[in-house]
Amino acid sequence: MLSVRYLKLWVGGAILLLLFVCGVGAPFLAPHDPQAQTLEDRLRPPRWADNGSRAYFLGTDNLGRDMLSRIIYGSRISLMVGTATVLFAGFVGCTLGALAGYFGKTTDEIVSKISEIFLAFPFLLIAIAIMAFLGQGLLNLIMALMLSRWVQYCRVVRGEVLSLKERDFVTAAKALGGKDFYVLFRHVVPNTFASVTVIATFGMAIVIITEASLSFLGLGVPAHIATWGSMLSEGRSYINRAPWLTIFPGIAIFITVFGINLLGDGLRDIFDPKLRRQR
């Protein structure tokens, strides 16, 4: 079972690494400009199909833009939105959760009430609502996703801090004269990182799917930027004539999310004390 556990980590990690390489190295990896339109080559099928062209490995879209280049560039948005959301939501959620758990009383009550309101919305709906009112845009999208995800971190960290603050090492740190904020952020919070890493990994997968869903609905980044979700939305009208317009972006989302979930599974197996005992 040990090898399977590490296999998940390796495969998931490799897929995530591939996403990073594609995202960061897009200008060097993409064979064409993702916005360049060649109308005489519009709706060209993938290279291996009849009438496919050597120049366009995954074919072209309705405006003659290269699908492979757009998919490579699309990974940038997924990567950027995924990473930024996880970092911001993690920071806000962990900070509020830690403060609520450690100080309790009024702080806890205020944070818990706010969390309860956010928990009363399904997170996709929060994102839809915010994007509906704020309009399309990368920053708006990150903010919408961050606002819909912070509460997950907050709940977990609050719960862990509630238990950790009663432990001997915290009493010892306080006895040595450590101030509350020092003890909280130097000794208590670092002990929650294992759980936070697992939530962050699964959270990134959810964020990537949510971003694609919002872009598909026309509520993500502006239409001229290539994203996997908007490619799916545009390709939908050509589903019977040019199925590759929807098949490839979908596969890109699926492989990315599958890889991240695999990584999350692997990390959870390693960090979960119950499973560790079984080893």
Residue ranges in contact with another protein by CB under 8 A: 113, 116-117, 120-125, 128-130, 132-135, 205, 209, 212-213, 216-219, 232, 236, 239-240, 243, 246-247, 249-250, 253-254, 257-258, 261-262, 265
Phi, psi of 115 (to 5 degrees): -60, -40
Residue 102 or 248 with smaller CB distance to another protein = 248
| For another protein, the closer CB: 51 or 278 | 278
d(C-alpha 51, C-alpha 175), whole Å: 77
d(CA 111, CA 152): 13
Q: Which of 193, 238 has the CB closer to another protein?
A: 238
Smallest separation, CB 127 to another protein (Å): 9
Using the minimum distance from each CB to another protein, give the nearer residue, 13 or 178.
13
CA torsion sign, 161 to 167 to 170 to 174? positive
Give min distance, CB of 227 to another protein, in A.
12
Nearer to another protein, 188 or 231 (CB): 231
| Alpha carbon 53 to chain centroid, angstroms | 34
CB of 162 to another protein, least distance (A): 21
* Main-chain dihedrals φ then ψ at residue 165, nearest 5 degrees: -65, -15
DSSP string, 240-251: TT-THHHHHHHH
* Cβ proximity to another protein, 17 vs 132, nearer residue: 132
Q: Please, what is the minimum distance in Å from the beta carbon of residue 30 to another protein?
A: 22
Closest to 254 measured CA to CA, from 210, 219, 209, 220: 209
Instruction: Pull the structure tokens for residue 119.
Output: 């928990």
Min dist. Cβ of residue 258 to another protein (A): 4
Cβ atoms of 34 and 73 within 8 Å: the answer is: yes
- Least separation in angstroms between CB 185 and another protein: 29
Whole-angstrom Cα Rg for the chain: 22
